[in-house]
Structure 1
Amino acid sequence: MKISVWDTYVAREDGKTMHFDILVPTTTEDKDCIFSYGREFLSKKPFQTAELSSRECKFCHMEQAADAIADTINKKGYYIIEMENCE
């Protein structure tokens, strides 16, 4: 499965910056939909964060997804890779 990677940086209430990638099929082009996936991810965190918008989340590149990631995307519509300060 070919996917789009959206590079995302969101400020936390403690001053740290979260960095995570939102992975979606290349056919998913609606930014509001992609941002809603990021907001859903953030809503499950035990701390407050700043708003997620086009300033914090930008298209980065396309790549081929690993099978496990593709399986999750087929079920949920997206996959999140936590990079920094997501815990």
Structure 2
Amino acid sequence: MKVSVFDTYVTRKDGAIMHFDILVPSDLRDVDKIHTFGREYLTRKGQEGQPLTTNECRFCHIEEADDNVVADITAHGYSIIEMQGCNN
């Protein structure tokens, strides 16, 4: 499965930066829906209400998904890869 990767940087409530990627099927082009996925993730991390727009979340590239990403997308419609500042 080919996925689009959206590189995302969000300022946490404590002022630190969260960097994560939102991965969606490559044919999904609805940016509002992709941002909704990011906001769902932020809520799970206790960061609800933080801005998430095209300023924070931008298309980066398309890649082939591994099995874990495919399973996440099948179950939830998207997958998150945590890069930095996501578990503090």
Moved over 2 A (4+): 46-50
Identity among equivalent pairs (%): 51
Spell out the pairing of 1:4-83 with structure 2 (5 A cutoff).
4-47=4-47, 50-83=50-83
| Conserved? CA contact 2:39–2:48, under 8 Å | no
Unaligned 5+ segments in structure 1 are: none
Unaligned 5+ segments in structure 2 are: none
Question: How does the TM-score come out when normalised to structure 1?
Answer: 0.93
Partner secondary structure for residue 58 of structure 2: strand
Please report the RMSD computed on the Cα atoms of aligned residues, expressed in angstroms.
Answer: 1.2
Say if 1:84 and 1:17 are closer, same or farther in 2 by CA, change over 3 A: same
Question: How does the TM-score come out when normalised to structure 2?
Answer: 0.92
